[in-house]
Amino acid sequence: MKKIRVLGIETSCDETSVSVVEKSKNGDVKILSNIIKSQLDVHRDFGGVVPELAARAHSEIIDKIASLAIRKSKIKLNELDAVAATAGPGLLGGLIVGTVFAKTLASALNIPFIAINHLEGHALSVQLENKIDFPYLLLLVSGGHTEFTIIKKFKQYKRIGTTLDDALGEAFDKSARLLNLGYPGGPQIEKCAKRGNPNKYSFPLPLINEKNCHVSFSGLKSSIAQTVQNKKITSKFKCDVSASFQKTIGEILKIKTVRALDEMRSNVKSKSKVNIVVAGGVAANNFIRSELKNIEANEDCKFYFPSLKLCTDNGAMIAYAGIERFERGLFSKLNFKPKPRWPLDNKALFMKGKR
Positions that interact with ligand KG4 (CB under 6 A): 13, 142-144, 169, 172-173, 184-187, 190, 280-282, 284-285, 312-313
Select the binding partner of residue 81 from Zn ion, ligand KG4, none (C-beta < 5 to 8 A, by kind): none
Q: Amino acid identity of 17? A: S
Select the binding partner of residue 51 from ligand KG4, Zn ion, none (C-beta < 5 to 8 A, by kind): none
Select the binding partner of residue 66 from ligand KG4, Zn ion, none (C-beta < 5 to 8 A, by kind): none
Closer residue to Zn ion, CB minimum distance, 94 or 250: 94
The CB-of-203 to Zn ion minimum distance in angstroms stands at 26
The CB-of-166 to ligand KG4 minimum distance in angstroms stands at 10
Closer residue to ligand KG4, CB minimum distance, 253 or 260: 253
Q: How many CA atoms lie within 13 A of 286 on its CB side?
A: 7
Quote the strand ranges of 257-324, DSSP E: 274-279, 301-304
Closer residue to Zn ion, CB minimum distance, 80 or 279: 279
Select the binding partner of residue 135 from ligand KG4, Zn ion, none (C-beta < 5 to 8 A, by kind): none
Q: Which of 226, 224, 255 is nearest to 240 (CA)?
A: 224
Q: Amino acid identity of 3? A: K
The CB-of-281 to ligand KG4 minimum distance in angstroms stands at 2
Select the binding partner of residue 206 from ligand KG4, Zn ion, none (C-beta < 5 to 8 A, by kind): none
The CB-of-65 to ligand KG4 minimum distance in angstroms stands at 16
Select the binding partner of residue 315 from ligand KG4, Zn ion, none (C-beta < 5 to 8 A, by kind): none
Classify each residue of 63-72 as buried b or exposed e, where b means 16 or more C-beta atoms within 10 Å of its C-beta: eebbeebbee
Look at strands 4-10 and 15-23 and give their pairing. antiparallel
The CB-of-220 to ligand KG4 minimum distance in angstroms stands at 14
Phi then psi dihedrals of residue 188, to 5 deg = -70, -45
Q: How many CA atoms lie within 13 A of 204 on its CB side?
A: 16
Closer residue to ligand KG4, CB minimum distance, 172 or 331: 172
Q: What does 151-168 look like in DSSP terms, one character per residue?
A: EEETTEEEEEEEBSS--H
Closer residue to Zn ion, CB minimum distance, 289 or 302: 289
Closer residue to Zn ion, CB minimum distance, 117 or 142: 142
CA distances from 284 to 41, 118, 250, 274 (A): 20, 18, 13, 21
**In this structure, what DSSP letter does residue 138 have?**
E
Which helix (H) or strand (E) segment holds residue 141: the answer is: strand 136-141
The CB-of-209 to ligand KG4 minimum distance in angstroms stands at 25
What does the binding site for Zn ion look like in residue numbers (CB under 5 A)? 142, 313
